[in-house]
Amino acid sequence: MCLAVPGRVLDIEERNGTRMANVDFGGVVKEVCLEYLPDLQVGEYAIVHVGFALQRLDEESARQTLELFAEIGLLQEEFGDAWETAAEQAGAGPVEEVCK
């Protein structure tokens, strides 16, 4: 599944003429392109889809959405280790135990 997920901008830099940021999605940090939101600043929140920040979002809305996604397991599905998720869904326990 591919979600549009709110995230908080941690830092911004320009790489090869493209404005990029490290964005925190409730504990998972990913690299995101900021070209669609050229005035987005460090500390602000944005909705991100397939690596592109698409819309600015207020902190409270971002927090509520991240909490809901975490509650229903969508953050793990979107950002978690695929092998770990598969093992847990199969009832095998954490990957470290399965691979011993």
Question: Domain ranges in the chain?
Answer: 5-72
E strand residue ranges, 1-100:
5-15, 18-25, 28-33, 45-49, 52-57
The model carries a pTM of 0.70
Amino acid letter, 83: W
CATH of domain 5-72: 2.30.30.140
Q: What's the confidence (pLDDT) of residue 87?
A: 45
Task: Quote the percentage of the chain above a pLDDT of 90.
Answer: 49
40-89 pLDDT, tens digit each = 999 999 999 999 999 999 999 998 888 887 787 776 666 655 444 444 55
Which residues on neighbouring strands pair with residue 43, listed in sequence order? none
